[in-house]
Structures are given as structure tokens and as C-alpha cells.
Structure 1
Amino acid sequence: MTKFSANLGFLWNDRSLPDAIRAAKAAGFAAVECHWPFDTPATEVKAALDETGLVMLGLNTRRGNVEAGDNGLAAVPGREEEARAAIDEALAYAAAIGAPNVHVMSGFAGGPKAHVTFVENLRYATAEAAKIGVTILIEPLNHYDAPNYFLGTSEQAKTIILEVGASNLKLMFDCYHLQIMEGDLVRRLEKLLPITGHIQFASVPDRGAPDHGEVNYGFVFERIAELGWTTPLGAEYKSTEPTDKTLGWMKR
């Protein structure tokens, strides 16, 4: 049976992070994940995880100065010191709560210098993460939601992963973003599974619950299971309704 992880950046985000963890457990999720948990003490998150028996599968590095338009730092030339501080912070938090993955956000950048900057920062991140047994994830974002985001396609991510050459650097395969940018989800996932570290999903094109839109997630989930994937799949979708009212897809 396919298992699911609740992304608490979107689901139950009207509650404190510890209470959202408890809500995910009550709803039947097998794991949780989040975006930027840093305003909540790690001790409180760890206590909620211990209480529920859930694992926090991953978290993101800080975006930077959001008011100034930042959406990650790791590929932005000239901001290496900030990027590495964000990596250190995320790794320390992951270690404190037992999270196995950290998503390093590339940010808005482009060109050869940004590529070199991203590769160098990822080499730093993977070396530091290896000391505590954590995997670094990189995620292509679609250019409708995140125009000018450095990492935009799975092939670009694959090239970078191979160039960095670290066994603990993997692809975050977000079905929502990659359907918009590239499509052909199942064949693409079959091809990229060896370098994939986590899988997320949402309906396309509205990023809602996976029970409508242009992707038949029943088929996609079945194929993922056939491929031998056992880690919970990340439900990272938005809704205009309270989260508990959107979960009918889990029963189906």
C-alpha cells in the first residue's frame, strides 16, 4: 500500500508545527515534511514527532531576504557566505529532529557563474551533511510559479548531481513542477529513480489535492509502487478549504 507524507508547509499551516504534526498523525499520514520550521524550537518539533511516532522526512534551507525577493541562495553568485550559513542552520535543525533530508534551494539566478556557484555550495552541503548521515535534495521549480528560478528541469538537476558526484545528493522529484515543465511523468520517473531522494505531488495546474486536474495520480502512484518505492510520497498541495476536508483522495 502506498504511504503518504503530509507537507506541513501547506497542510494544516494554520496551526503550530507541533499541532500540525499531531493532525497529520490523526489523519493517517505515515510521515511529515515541512518548509521552514526555524521559528519553532527543534525540541518542540522533536517532542511531537516522538509522541506521534512520525518522521519529519525533510525541510528546506531558508530562502534569504523574502521581502527583497529571495527564494533561495545557493546558486546566487556573491552570496556564498549566506548560502552556507543557511545550509548549516538547516543541517543542525535536521540533526536535532532526526530528519533524513535537507532541500537546498538554488534561488533566482542564471548563467554559467550561477551554475558554478550552485555546484560549489552543493559540494559544501553534501560534505557537511555526510557527517550526520543526511541527504541533500535539489528540486526543479516550474517557471510559471517561480520565474527565473535557477533550477528548472530534471535534466539540469541530473547534470548537477553527476557533476557534484556525492552519493548523498539526490533529486526531489516534484510531480507538480515536472508535469508543468516536462510532462511524461511515469517514464521520467522510471529513468530518474536511481538519483531520486523524495517524491512530491499535487494536482496540475492548480496545485490542489490530487483528485482532479490533468494527472491521473491513481495510475502514477500504482506505477511508483511497482517500481519498488517504499518511502512515503509527499502531499504538497494547496487548498482553499480546511485540510481535513480535502483528504478524500487518501481513502480512494
Structure 2
Amino acid sequence: MARFSANLGFLWTDRPLPEAIRAAGAAGFHAVECHWPYDVPVAEVRSALRETGLPMLGLNTRRGNVEAGDNGLCAVPGRSEEAQAAIVEAVDYAEAVGAQAVHVMAGNAAGEDAHRTFLRNLRFAGEISVSCGIGLLIEPLNRFDAPGYFLKNTAQAAAIIAEAGVANLKLMFDCYHVGRTEGDVLDRLRALLPLTGHIQFASVPDRGAPDHGEIDYRTLFAQIDALGWAGPLGAEYRPVGETGATLTWMTPA
């Protein structure tokens, strides 16, 4: 039976992160995850996690200068010093709050230099995270939402995981991004399941709640369960209106 994680980068964004964690617990989620929690004191996040009993599955490295168009730094040539500082910050925060993984954001880049830069920074991330028991994730983003992003599809991500040789590096498989650009989500997931560290979802194509759109999530959740996936699935969708009012999909799932 599917279990779910609330991505608090999109859900309950009208509340401070500790209160969003509590709201997720009250709504029946089995875990939480977030994007960039760094402005929130560690003690407040730890307290909310302890109170609710929810694990924190993961968080992202910083994007960089968002106003200048940054969407991650780790594949951007010439910015490895900033990228590695962001990795250290993310691993330290993840360890402090007990998060299980860090999503290493590649950023907007292309070409062989970007490829080499990303590999170098992923290996750095592996060196500082593996002793903490923290996993690393990379995630391809679809070309419609993130046209300049370095990681464009799951085949590219799988090749980088193989080449990097980092023991704790896995794929973040987002059904929404795969559904927008690669076709049959279940076939891709079945092929990539051994490389997958986390699964996320949202409706296709509007990234709304998973109760409409091109993917029948009630069926897909059952199929994922049949594949033997045991972890909570990450609800990373943009709610229309108050988050709680969009959660009717959880009951049949």
C-alpha cells in the first residue's frame, strides 16, 4: 500500500516550515521533504519532526543567485567553490535535522565542461556525505519548466550516476518531469528502479494534485507498490487554494 511524503516546498507554503511539518503529520502523511530550509533554525525543525514522528526524506542544495537565473550550481563551470560550499551547507543541515538525502542541484549549463564539473562536484559530495549516512540524489527537470537545466532526462542522469562512481548517489525519479518529456512513466521507472533513491509525483501537464491529468495515479501507485517500492512517494505538486482541500486523492490511494 502506497505511503506518501509531503513536499513542503509546495505544500503548506503559507506556514513556517515547522508548522507545515505539523500540518503534514495531522493530514496523515508518512514523511516530509523540503527544498531550501536554511533560514529556519535547526532546533525548530528537529522539534517539529520529533513531535510528529515524521522522517525528513531530503532537501536541496541552494540554487545560487535566483534573481540572476541560477537554478543550482553543481554543473556550472567556474563556480565549483560556490557549489561545494552549498553542498557542505546542505549535508551539514541534513545531518543536523536527520534528513536522509540531499538533492544536488546541477543548474543551468551544457557541454563537456559542465559534464566534467558536475562529476567533480558529485564526487566531492560523495566524499563528505557518505560517512554521515546521507544519500545523494540528482534529478532531471523537464525542458518546459527548466529549459536550460543541465540534467534533461533520466538516460543522462543514469549515465552520470554510472560514471561518477559515487556509492551513495541515486536518481530522484519525478513522475511529473518524466511524464512531460519521456513518455511511459512506468516503463522508465521499471528500468531505473535499481538506481532510484526517491520517487515524486504531480499531475501532468499542470503539476497540480494527482487527481486529474494524463497519468492515472491511482493505478500508477498500485503498480509502483507491485514493483516492491517501500519508501514514501513524494507529493511535489502545486495546490490550487489551501493545501488541505486538495488532499482528497490520498484516501483512495
TM-score interval, normalised by the smaller of the two chains: over 0.9
Note the residue ranges of structure 2 that are not aligned, 5 or more in a row.
none
Report the Cα distance in structure 2 between the residues aligned to 1:49 and 1:239, rounded to whole angstroms: 23
- Residue 43 of structure 1 deviates from its aligned partner by 1.0
Supply the AA of the counterpart residue of 1:145.
D
Name 1:158's counterpart in structure 2.
Answer: 158
Supply the AA of the counterpart residue of 1:161.
I
Supply the AA of the counterpart residue of 1:58.
G
Instruction: Determine helix, strand or coil for the equivalent of 2:132.
Output: coil
Instruction: Determine helix, strand or coil for the equivalent of 1:131.
Output: helix
Instruction: Determine helix, strand or coil for the equivalent of 1:203.
Output: coil
Number of residue-to-residue matches in the alignment = 252
Report the Cα distance in structure 1 between the residues aligned to 2:251 and 2:211, rounded to whole angstroms: 11
Note the alpha carbon deviations across 1:159-178, whole angstroms, 9 max, x for none.
00000112200000000001
Between the two proteins, what is the percent identity of the paired residues? 65
Report the Cα distance in structure 1 between the residues aligned to 2:183 and 2:19, rounded to whole angstroms: 36
Supply the AA of the counterpart residue of 1:104.
V
Name 2:167's counterpart in structure 1.
Answer: 167
Supply the AA of the counterpart residue of 2:21.
I
Question: What does 1:29-178 align with in structure 2 at a 5 Å threshold?
Answer: 29-178=29-178
Report the Cα distance in structure 2 between the residues aligned to 1:220 and 1:166, rounded to whole angstroms: 30
Report the Cα distance in structure 1 between the residues aligned to 2:14 and 2:39, rounded to whole angstroms: 14
Name 2:184's counterpart in structure 1.
Answer: 184
Note the residue ranges of structure 1 that are not aligned, 5 or more in a row.
none
Note the alpha carbon deviations across 1:120-162, whole angstroms, 9 max, x for none.
1000001111010111000000010011100010000000000
Name 1:17's counterpart in structure 2.
Answer: 17
TM normalised by structure 2 equals 0.99
Supply the AA of the counterpart residue of 1:46.
R
Supply the AA of the counterpart residue of 1:83.
A
- Residue 44 of structure 1 deviates from its aligned partner by 0.6
Note the alpha carbon deviations across 1:213-247, whole angstroms, 9 max, x for none.
00011111111101111110000000221000000
TM normalised by structure 1 equals 0.99
